Structure formats: C-alpha cells, structure tokens
Amino acid sequence: MTALLIGLLGFLAIHSIRIVAPRWREARIAAMGELAWKGVYSLLSIAFFVLLVWGYGQARQHTQLLWLPPMALRHVGALLVAIAFVLVAAAYVPRNAIRAKLGHPMILGVKVWAFAHLLMSGWLHSVIVFAAFLIWAILDFRSARRRPKSPTGSTSMPMTVLTVVIGLGLTAVFVLYLHGPLIGVVPFG
C-alpha cells in the first residue's frame, strides 16, 4: 500500500501545483523556460503514475472489501464512465459545444470517472484511489473556475457530434479490449 500512496500523492501533488502555488509555478516557468518546465513536469508525472499503477496492483493482492456495491450501481457507474470519456474527448476536439459550455471538461471527466468507480468498487485500495482523484478534481475545478476564461470561439454541431462519437468509441474500446489487460478487471465479464 505504501507504493500506491506515494504514487498517488506524488501524482496528485504534481497536478496540484497550479491550484496551490500558481505564482511559484509561473516563477519556475520563467526561470526554466516553458519547454523545460513541461519536460520536468511530464517526467515526474509519469514516474509517479507508474508507481501509482504498480502500487495499485500490489495493493489489490492484499486488500479488504469495505462494501459490496449492488448491481444497479455498476450499471449507473458504466453510464457515468461513458459520460466521462465524452468529457475527456471534449477537452481535445476543437470547436465543440461541450467544451464551450463547461469550460473544463477534462477535470469534469476525471470527477465523473472517479465518482463512477467509487460507485462500482468497494475495495479499500480502489476507494483510496478514486476518492483521492474525486477530491482533487473538485478542488481543481474550483480553482480552474476562478482563473480567467480563455475565449472559446465559435462552436460547430458536427464537431460536437464528433466529440460524442469519439468519447463513446473510446469507451467501447477501453471497456471491451483494454480495461481487462491493463487494469486486471473485466468490466462486463
């Protein structure tokens, strides 16, 4: 559980710098240059994420069940995961109305994804990870809403539809083909 906690706390700490120390972040970017900052940020993020994933796998072998979710919550959770994938897609597809309306769909996607997984899993290691991500996403969303909004420009219905199609397609691919081999849990197995 130690590796899981170090990976989780490190990963979320790196992603919280903009929330808790925006001036320090700006000073580092000014001193190092944006490219160097992104390089260090990315390397640390990847290192902590790898430790988080490895620690999650280790913790899963020696965990305890806190509660057994009813089957209905698994169905609700599956629907919420699909919504989360659409929100994440909205962060990257240009000119979609979802991003224009919500402003920070990636953070909302993380929030929905974490909440969905809290509904679907009652294992201690899962609750720790998904509760931490949910709390982080709530705080990050509040912080992001306080920052000045960048102009969104015009939106396009075809790009919005494409966003939904990409999000649902990614959901299907991940759930049907990748979740089992990567995570060790087959969602519909």
Q: Give the predicted TM-score (pTM) of the model.
A: 0.92
Per-residue pLDDT of 52-106, as tens digits, reads: 999 999 999 999 999 999 999 989 999 999 999 999 999 999 999 999 999 899 9
Q: Which pLDDT score, from 0 to 100, does residue 149 have?
A: 73
Please check the confidence at residue 156 and state whether its pLDDT lies above 80.
Answer: yes
Per-residue pLDDT of 170-183, as tens digits, reads: 999 999 999 989 88
Residue carrying structure tokens 């919280």: 16
Cα 12 to Cα 46, 67, 84, 88, distances in angstroms: 12, 26, 19, 18
For residue 70, the SS3 value is coil
Q: Which pLDDT score, from 0 to 100, does residue 153 have?
A: 78
Predicted confidence band of residue 32 (pLDDT cuts 50, 70, 90): very high
Region of 28 on the Ramachandran plot (φ > 0 left; ψ -120 to 50 alpha; else beta): alpha
d(C-alpha 88, C-alpha 108), whole Å: 8
Of the chain, the percentage scoring pLDDT greater than 90 comes to 86
Summary mean pLDDT of the chain: 94
CA 28 from chain center: how many Å? Answer: 25
Q: Which pLDDT score, from 0 to 100, does residue 185 have?
A: 84
Per-residue pLDDT of 3-20, as tens digits, reads: 999 999 999 999 999 999
Q: Which pLDDT score, from 0 to 100, does residue 187 have?
A: 86
Of all helices (H) and strands (E), which one includes residue 18?
Answer: helix 17-20
